[in-house]
Amino acid sequence: MAVLTRLTGMKRLATLVGCNYKGSQYELHGCINDVFDMQETLISRFGFDKSDVTVLTDEPGSNPLPTGANVKRILGEMIGKAKSGDVLFFHYSGHGTLIPAVKPYHGRKDEAIVPCDFNLITDLDFRQLVDKLPSGTSFTIISDSCHSGGLIDKEKEQIGPTTSKSKHKAQGKTRFISYESLGQHLGNLSGLDSPHVGEHLLHIFGEEASSKFHKDTHQDQKQLNADNGILLSGCQTNETSADIGAEEGDGKPCGAFSHSLQKVIKEHPAVISNKELVTKARKLLQEEHMSQHPCLYCSDGNADKSFLLENQE
């Protein structure tokens, strides 16, 4: 028997992106399945109207394609339409990567996702999107990609890196493109002889390249509206996320993290908090002998709020 729910929020808007990179050396198989599964869940469980759910895939013939510019434009338009009380959602399934910090003294690498044209969308871009949210607007991001922990720059860690070493090996194909492979691919497109991915991206995409690579970007700006962003990542910053086959994915290829979320949601028809959802997905992946550890980044208050602000009557 279905559980009746009361869904808060004036509008419920979603953008779902799945990149399989078909025909390339980076081909994946489950990312498009992930976003169509999520579309169905948003509509049937969380009160989204199909007309308010934008789906971008790189399936041949799709229009518009999930290029870096298109994804940032559509997310910007979604945020531009939002008002206090609205619920916004972004799901990404595809490759992720790590890039050297623009300022070397940071001593770390930064997270990014890899749209179909390789025009990276970085942790700084997501921070800037979150900072544009109207007060009282919720923006939940799921990134089923490698190195996705911390994808919203400076967001507070609630469930983060585990200090224990996993006894399990990664299964399936990883959703990861190395920095070296990125440089080689982008160098072939730009024609530049440079070891820096940012130089290639600026040459190819100009103003549409990530803000991280523009010299006039203030990397150390004070964050605004930090509590409005909620990130559920498929793995820790130093880990990979798996693209699993039909046997492990209940009949079709999918992302291990996306699949675990779907199972948890279906097995728990009552309201579930962001913290509970990530904790249960993490436990499920461990039981399935996966090596990745999903994480949660958000404010203390949002950690205990229901996923997508679903409230049981």
Q: Active-site residue numbers?
A: 95, 146
4 φ/ψ angles, rounded to the nearest 5 degrees = -75, 140
- Count other Cβ atoms within 10 Å, centred on residue 181: 15
Token pair 């923006």 in the structure block, residue: 139
Both structure tokens of 305:
């709020």
Distance CA 121, CA 125 (A): 6
Distance CA 264, CA 278 (A): 9
Strands (E) across the chain are located at 5-7, 12-18, 53-57, 87-93, 96-100, 109-113, 121-122, 138-144, 157-159, 173-174, 229-233, 242-244, 254-255, 295-297, 310-312
